[in-house]
Chains A and B, each alone.
Chain A
Amino acid sequence: MKIKETLAELSNLRGVSGAEAEVSSYLADRLEEGRFEVRVDSIGNLLVRKGRKKGKKLMLSAHMDEVGLMIMDFEKNGLLRFRAVGGIDSRILVAKRLRVGIHALPGVIGSKPIHLQKKGEQDKPFREDSLYIDCGFKNHEEAAGYLKVGEYATFDVKCAAISKNAFRGKAFDNRAGCLVLLSLLLEKNSLSFDAAFTVQEEVGTRGAQIAAYTMEPDRALVVESTAAADTPETEQELSSTILGQGPAISLMDSTVMVDRQMRNELTVAAEKAGIIYQYRRFTGAGTDGGAIAYSRSGVKTAVLSVPCRYIHSPHSVLYESDLKSTIDLVRSWLDTQQ
Chain B
Amino acid sequence: MNESELVSVLTRLSSATGVAGFEDQAVEIAAGYFQSYGCTVKRDRFGNLLALKAGTAKKGRIVSLALVAHIDEIGAMVTKVEDGGFLRFTAIGGLDARTLPGQAVLIHGRKILKGVIGAKPPHLLTDQERKKTVPIDKLFIDVGLSYEDLNNIVSVGDIISFEQNPLLLSNRKYISGKALDNRAGVAALIFCAAELADRKHEANIFFIASLQEEVGLRGATTAAFGLNPDLAVAVDVTHGDGPGLENNFSYKLGAGPALATGPNFDVDLFSKLKNAAADNYLPCQIEPIPGRSGTDAWAFQVTREGIPTGLLSIPLRYMHSTVELINIDDLAVCGKILSFYARSVNYTHGKRS
Do these two chains really belong together in a complex? yes
**What number of A residues sit within 8 Å (CB to CB) of B?**
69
Asked whether, in the complex, the Cβ of A110 is within 8 Å of the Cβ of B318, the reply is yes
Q: In the assembled complex, which residues on chain A have CB atoms less than 8 Å from the CB atom of B204?
A: none
Q: In the assembled complex, which residues on chain B have CB atoms less than 8 Å from the CB atom of A79?
A: 243
Asked whether, in the complex, the Cβ of A227 is within 8 Å of the Cβ of B144, the reply is no
Asked whether, in the complex, the Cβ of B84 is within 8 Å of the Cβ of A232, the reply is yes
Nearest A residue to B82, CB-CB: A232
Tell whether A168 pairs with B144 under 8 Å between CB atoms, given A106-B170, A110-B318, A137-B171.
yes
Q: In the assembled complex, which residues on chain B have CB atoms less than 8 Å from the CB atom of A125?
A: 98, 130-133
Return the CB mask of B58-96 against A: 1 if under 8 Å, else 0.
Answer: 000000000000000000000000101010100000111
Cβ of B97 < 8 Å from any Cβ of A? yes
Asked whether, in the complex, the Cβ of A232 is within 8 Å of the Cβ of B94, the reply is no
Asked whether, in the complex, the Cβ of B124 is within 8 Å of the Cβ of A132, the reply is no
Per a CB cutoff under 8 Å, which of A77, A105, A285 touches B169?
A105
Q: How far is the CA of A130 from the CA of B167 in the complex (A)?
A: 24
Return the CB mask of B161-201 against A: 1 if under 8 Å, else 0.
Answer: 00010011111011010000000000000000000000000
Asked whether, in the complex, the Cβ of B140 is within 8 Å of the Cβ of A162, the reply is no
Tell whether A231 pairs with B86 under 8 Å between CB atoms, given A110-B242, A112-B242, A136-B170.
yes
**What number of B residues sit within 8 Å (CB to CB) of A?**
67
Asked whether, in the complex, the Cβ of B84 is within 8 Å of the Cβ of A106, the reply is no
Q: From residue B184, how far is it (CB to closest CB) to chain A in Å?
A: 15
Asked whether, in the complex, the Cβ of A94 is within 8 Å of the Cβ of B99, the reply is yes
Question: B-side binding surface: helix, strand, loop or mixed?
Answer: loop
Per a CB cutoff under 8 Å, which of A88, A136, A233 touches B171?
A136
Nearest B residue to A253, CB-CB: B123
Q: From residue A164, how far is it (CB to closest CB) to chain B in Å?
A: 8
Q: In the assembled complex, which residues on chain A have CB atoms less than 8 Å from the CB atom of B239?
A: 113, 115-116
Q: In the assembled complex, which residues on chain A have CB atoms less than 8 Å from the CB atom of B294?
A: 115
Q: Which of B113-130 contact A (CB under 8 A)?
A: 113-116, 118-125, 130
Per a CB cutoff under 8 Å, which of A124, A285, A311, A314 touches B133?
A124
Q: Which of B313-350 contact A (CB under 8 A)?
A: 317-325, 327
User: Which of B84, B116, B121 is packed against the most chain A CB atoms within 10 Å?
Assistant: B121
User: Which of B82, B95, B323 is packed against the most chain A CB atoms within 10 Å?
Assistant: B323
Q: Which of A221-250 contact B (CB under 8 A)?
A: 227, 229-234, 238, 240
Known: A110-B325, A112-B242, A163-B113. 16 other contacts (CB 8 A): A89-B121, A95-B322, A95-B323, A97-B176, A97-B323, A106-B167, A108-B323, A110-B324, A111-B99, A112-B243, A134-B323, A163-B145, A166-B143, A232-B86, A310-B116, A313-B102
Q: Could you tell me which B residues sit within 8 Å of A by CB distance?
A: 82, 84, 86, 88, 94-104, 113-116, 118-125, 130-134, 138, 140, 142-145, 149, 164, 167-171, 173-174, 176, 239, 241-245, 248, 254, 294, 317-325, 327
Of the A-B pairs whose beta carbons lie under 8 Å apart in the complex, a sample of 30, sorted by A's number, is A89-B125, A91-B134, A92-B102, A95-B98, A95-B103, A96-B102, A108-B318, A110-B318, A110-B323, A111-B96, A111-B98, A111-B99, A113-B239, A113-B242, A117-B96, A124-B132, A125-B133, A130-B244, A132-B243, A136-B174, A146-B170, A166-B143, A168-B104, A231-B142, A233-B134, A234-B124, A312-B122, A314-B104, A317-B116, A317-B142
